[in-house]
Chain A
Amino acid sequence: MARITLNNIRHSYLPNPKSDDDYALQRVHLDWDDGGAYALLGPSGCGKTTLLNIISGLLVPSEGQLLFDDKDVTALEPDARNIAQVFQFPVIYDTMTVRDNLSFPLRNRGVDEQVIAQRVTEIAAMLELEPMLDQKAAGLTADNKQKISLGRGLVREDVNVIMFDEPLTVIDPHLKWKLRSKLKELHQKVKRTMIYVTHDQTEALTFADQVVVMNFGQILQVGTPIELFECPTHTFVGHFIGSPGMNVVPASVVDGKVQVAGHVIDTASDLTNLRQGSVEVGVRPEFVRFADVGIAGTVETVMDVGRHTVVKVRLEGIDQIINAIVDEGDSIPDGQVHLQFDAAQTRLYEDGWVVAEIQG
């Protein structure tokens, strides 16, 4: 396996890119450790597939280098990169048995049959495919087929990185759940470098140690799931991660105090270097609570999602909805309400980017 370095990579699909807007992928610099679990997370069109194609070699970037263990592979053909890929739809040979499917990548490389048999047994045990080793792949369920795709990557010991491109999209929720934990368990066992591309925050956050959040061809934040949840550095990250995402509310700073809809609130942000003008306040629904005083509003809808309830409140005076989460069993407010934000989890954002926190 390998350490992967994306050294100042930038890509445009146009022959003569002029401005930054012409680049589908803005300048990216990332270092990924050998054996880590990473995710590229973002909406359709955010640039994550462009980045994935550059790593797999389907695309040569306009600028920058891709390094595997400090060796430049930017111009190397895909098949010379020793990369295993698992796609949205399982890529397997339906007419072959599970055993032959798993053996195929090794047989193709002329590996000794005895070694193949041993490797296949090992991988099949890990993926719980043993009972079906001699069945044809055609009759298997979608999640088992996807496990075979994965097994074909794992069976090779010379693989630099295993890449997953939306691997759970076609899987039913209850199987998705099982397969997701299986992937996590496998990574904890084999410690190979894995890169997981998805638009689904749950998949990214539960699989990866480090998540790269992208939008508009740009990396907005790289962090652990906890960092992304607790301190989003961009309003888009706050909104994209969490269900529902972070509330982003227009605010103003008057005499060194933050005001939302005419109410002064406390935040964790340091206001000293703030430019005058409009800012936004970001606070997650988990950190909004109902109180006797505070920002006034009216309860608009109440959504019971089982584990908790999401209450949508329309603020008084500004056209803005705030989501608040109420725990299962707690009383649900109605009509006119007042909201309080947990100051330690409330931050200011200027032009989308977070304002530094108060130190000390």
Chain B
Amino acid sequence: MTLEIQDVTKRVGAEIHIHETSLRFLPGHFNVLLGETNAGKTTLMKLMAGLDQPTSGNVLIDGVDVTKQSTQDRQISFVHQFFVNYPHFSVYENIASPLRLARISPSEIDRRVREAADLMKLTPMLERRPQELSGGQQQRTALARAIVKDSKVVFLDEPLANLDYKLREELRSELPQLFADRGAVVIYATSEPAEALMLGGCTATLHEGRVSQFGETSDVYRNPVNLTTAQVFSDPPLNTATVIKAGGRCTLNAEVSWELSGPQSQLADGEYMIGVRPHHVLPTSISVGVAIAGSVQVTELSGSESVAHFRVGEGSWVSQSEGIHPYQVGESHTFFMDVSKCFFFAADGRLVA
């Protein structure tokens, strides 16, 4: 099964909610839409699901134009952030409901409901009503309903956002496997970069109604083609700074400059924006590190990692390192930036090296 959108736009009055977008999703793995609240994730999903009409452009499922088709005719499932269940039905009937509508034999319904319940760890709760369940169990009921029917496309709109942290972690590692053998196209919206990475598959980064990049998840993460993608796909936020490139050297400020190598040294002289993720700015010396002295503003030690927010001139930077690093707030500390992991962006935001 395939899902494709061609030149889709969405305007509401004078406002553009979705700029012209074309994407082709493939079945068998997760397709993640990653972006902040209001980036356009839900809008894009609704256009694909038929819950909303595009201003222009087409939606194709298996090569067939479904733009004018109703949601019911598209054979899709949609799971929202706020779980929706039938309060007066048992968990069993909630999961069975889409199959009852599809007129499937009772024995087949029973088999599929029990299989879905088993996957979602809901077997002991099948006779209960949704309100007797925890939030996590209610959302798993909604997810079970989405997987029980043979949908061509499954939309999951931040389905784990309202769940406990640890439960989220478990479901996140299970979800891709649940859908792996079903042949459906799965579209998953999230605002968390870490979640996109854990789900794997492909990721489209969204910002202000535009897709900034689409590709294999870890490739988009490691090789962003522009500043927007690098920023959307970074948590903690990407460190950025303006540098001057002249000859073979790059200068950050009066104290910090370094010799460039590889493609970075081939760039035309001039001003660039550099971007470097916090875990490539470390509190201890590294072989490819450039020393940057800063004053430590805030520290966060979680046991497994140490985070320091520090100021360099007017700019604020973040360092994230494994293990425990005892910083003192207010102290001046020398950090080391891994220049081999530095992105160089041109004035228009394009990645140039």
Contact = CB atoms under 8 A, between A and B. Distances in A.
A128 interface: no
A1 to B, nearest CB: 20
A181 B217 CA distance: 28
Nearest to B232: A174
Given A173-B235, A181-B309, A240 B166 contact: yes
Given A199-B164, A305-B194, A226 B200 contact: no
Contacts of B287: none
Nearest to A174: B237
B302 A202 contact: yes
Q: How large is the interface on A (under 10, 10 to 19, 20 to 34, 35 or more residues)?
A: 35 or more
A188 interface: yes
Contacts of B215: none
A173 B218 contact: no
Contact of A177 (B164, B166, B235): B235
Interface stretch (A7-15, A108-116, A242-250): A242-250
Which residue, of B165, B200, B307, B324, has the highest number of chain A Cβ atoms within 10 A?
A: B165
A181 B169 contact: no
Contacts of B300: 180-181, 184, 205-206
Given A174-B237, A206-B300, A43 B193 contact: no
A173 B198 contact: no
Interface string A313-332: 00000000000000110000
B302 A230 contact: no
Contact of B307 (A201, A206, A308): A206
Interface string B205-218: 00000000000011
Contacts of B173: 301, 303
A280 interface: no
B346 to A, nearest CB: 23
A337 B221 CA distance: 28
Contacts of A256: none
A206 B303 CA distance: 9
B298 interface: yes
Interface in A183-209: 184-185, 188, 199-202, 205-206
A202 B169 CA distance: 13
A139 interface: no
A244 B304 CA distance: 11
B244 interface: no
A307 interface: yes
Contacts of A243: 169, 304
Contacts of B302: 201-202, 205-206, 225, 229
A131 interface: no
A68 B103 CA distance: 64
B240 to A, nearest CB: 13
B319 interface: no
Contacts of A328: 279
Contacts of A301: 173
A303 B198 contact: yes
Given A173-B235, A188-B298, A303-B200, 15 more contacts: A44-B136, A172-B36, A173-B191, A199-B164, A202-B165, A205-B302, A206-B300, A225-B303, A226-B301, A241-B303, A243-B304, A244-B169, A245-B166, A303-B173, A303-B198
Interface of B: 36-37, 134-136, 164-167, 169, 173, 191-194, 197-198, 200, 217-218, 221, 235-237, 277, 279, 297-304, 307, 309, 320, 322, 324, 329
11 contacts: A174-B36, A174-B237, A177-B235, A181-B300, A184-B298, A206-B302, A225-B302, A228-B303, A241-B303, A243-B304, A304-B197
The 6 closest A-B pairs by CB, nearest first: A229-B303, A206-B300, A205-B302, A199-B164, A200-B165, A225-B303
